[in-house]
Amino acid sequence: MTKTPHTRNLGTTGPQVSALGLGCMGMSALYGDADRAESIATVHAALEAGVTLLDTGDFYAMGHNEMLLGEALRTAPAALREQALVSVKFGALRDPEGNWSGYDGRPAAVKNFAAYSLQRLGVDHIDVYRIARLDPDVPIEETVGAIAELIEKGYVRHVGLSEVGAETIRRAAATAPVSDLQIEYSLISRGIERDILPTTRELGIGITAYGVLSRGLISGHFTRDRQLAANDFRAHSPRFQGDNLQHNLNLVDALREIAERKGATVAQTAIAWVLSRGEDIVPLIGARTRERLTESLGALDVTLDAADLAAIEKAVPADAAAGDRYPSAQMAHLDSER
């Protein structure tokens, strides 16, 4: 495939993918109710628009998201289906009520999770496979080693990582080639710039950036009076609470002024900023509808020059956000935050 301005590589050892990927989690879980038919139509529209990287997790609504994505792939035109690359996170443990109960990175568990994911997705291989969070009881070398064995047998193509810190990245990369690290990165979540991003660049590992709109907070569509459903995890997210929300939406207002001068939307400007951080970064857009997908893809046509970037930096400086990106209990599970 000839490389175009709208493709990027997942690190030096990973595949070539679209410059924007589609994160599918919200089509099944954590952001309130979703429309299944519209979700599948959105996946199809993304594939038609040239989006090749589709991201899911086996624990998103306990397998629902993988089955939904499997249906979307099965019903897509063959040519588009063949271009799709699927990235899967595994390892998060849940009970029938949906509660979280830890992570399992044991080699036997890795292979068990993969077997179920292959079946739910209806594919013969997973393109990028990664544990969602580091299992503190299992050395990363064992978890990555198990993925490497799946690669040898043809069930997986590439090793990925998720939300791990620089030391863990180095240990994983010493065990097997790593294509990319999936981690939150946005205008208001810039922690990776200190140690993690320099490490991935040193090792030739790409970044798939999720939360580029901070779960809709900096999309330009979230309002101060919006009521969140009980099954929307943002109702418990620190950045969406009280004074934090007010402070963060003031940052969005400042960003909106810059976006309007560019003739772009707030969301497009925020996504374009992440795209501008380097060719080794592939933002994941969490669009749940074709309308939001179209808007997000418009970021590919937004060029930010030095003056634009300086204005954005002034409007939304690093560490400007109020509140952590997860509640404290979840922050404790993040190796990337240690």
**Alpha carbon distances (Å) from 265 to 26, 33, 210:** 21, 25, 19
Helix residue spans in 24-165 (DSSP H): 36-48, 64-74, 78-83, 107-121, 140-152
30 DSSP β-pair partners: none
Q: Which listed residue (31, 60, 103, 326) is catalytic?
A: 60
Tokens 């193509």 found at: 157
Main-chain phi, psi angles of 87, to 5 degrees: -105, 130
Residue 103 is a catalytic residue: no
Give the pair of three-digit tokens for residue 167: 């030391």
3-state secondary structure string, 140-187? HHHHHHHHHHHHHCCCEEEEEEECCCHHHHHHHHHHCCEEEEEEECEC
d(CA 234, CA 236): 5
Active site residues: 60
